[in-house]
Amino acid sequence: MPRIISPSVLSADFGHLADDIAMLDRSEAEWIHIDVMDGVFVPNISFGFPVMGPIRQGTKKVLDTHLMIVNPEKYVERFVRAGADIVTIHLEATEDVRGAIAMIKKAGAKAGVSIKPKTPAAAVAPYLNELDLVLVMSVEPGFGGQSFIEGSTEKVAELRREIDRCGSRAVIEIDGGITLANAAEVYAAGCEVLVAGSTVFASENPEATIHELLNV
């Protein structure tokens, strides 16, 4: 199965964001993960449209945008216009998951749905055939640097079985607490995309760490 690393900009140095984006652009990471938080869906606020522009200008890599916001439908189109290649919304954040997926696609991006740690894999099953990506949160969304919640690997395995069973083309991405110590078990469970924030940005050599995460 192909492997992709999506380093999370949330852990970047915002005083020197252009340098960090240039580093990611040089690195083996194929995607760049962008965490948008509204202080309502999650107990933290990150950043929004003004920060998307310079990121988009600094790289041609896939911008993997993770919206941790209520009423995501309201902003989907603007995120796509700001340069998002993939827009992932939370299953728990909308009444109309199917409508939100259709809206993302209509806006011209790939569509993802994310589930929080307490949401079972089965909750996303009805949408698998419409999705390009399923994002399994392996920490409670809101902050970088938390520890991986045990049981997340089993959730990935369950989704892998369901995706293979129904013939969905959705890739599985995992987000939260990914380290060099747990990456292998997550790949083995059938996950293709690993988000990594603190593991990449707190390391001595982020580019080398991205390489190591790909080759555990």
Active site residue 35: yes
Q: Quick check: 160 and 172 in contact, CB under 8 A?
A: yes
DSSP class of 19: H
> Within 120-159, which residues bind ligand DX5 (CB under 6 A)?
139, 141-146
- Return the residue of 72, 83, 112, 177 that touches ligand DX5, per CB under 6 A: 177
Residues 63-102, one symbol each (x = binds ligand DX5 by CB under 6 A, - = not), give ---x------------------------------------
173 binds ligand DX5 (CB under 6 A): no
167 class by beta-carbon count within 10 Å (0-12 exposed, 13-18 middle, 19+ buried): exposed
DSSP class of 82: T
- Return the residue of 35, 38, 132, 192 that touches Zn ion, per CB under 5 A: 35
- Tokens, residue 110: 């790939």
Residue 91's contacts (CB-CB under 8 Å, 6 or more residues apart) are 97, 113, 114, 115, 116, 119, 123, 124
Which one of ligand DX5, Zn ion, none interacts with residue 176, CB within 5 to 8 A by kind? ligand DX5
Instruction: Give the helix/strand (H/E) hosting 17.
Output: helix 17-26
Nearer CB in complex with ligand DX5: 64/132: 64
Binding residues for a divalent metal cation: 33, 35, 66, 175
Give the active site residues. 35, 175
Binding residues: 8, 33, 35, 66, 142-145, 175-177, 197-198
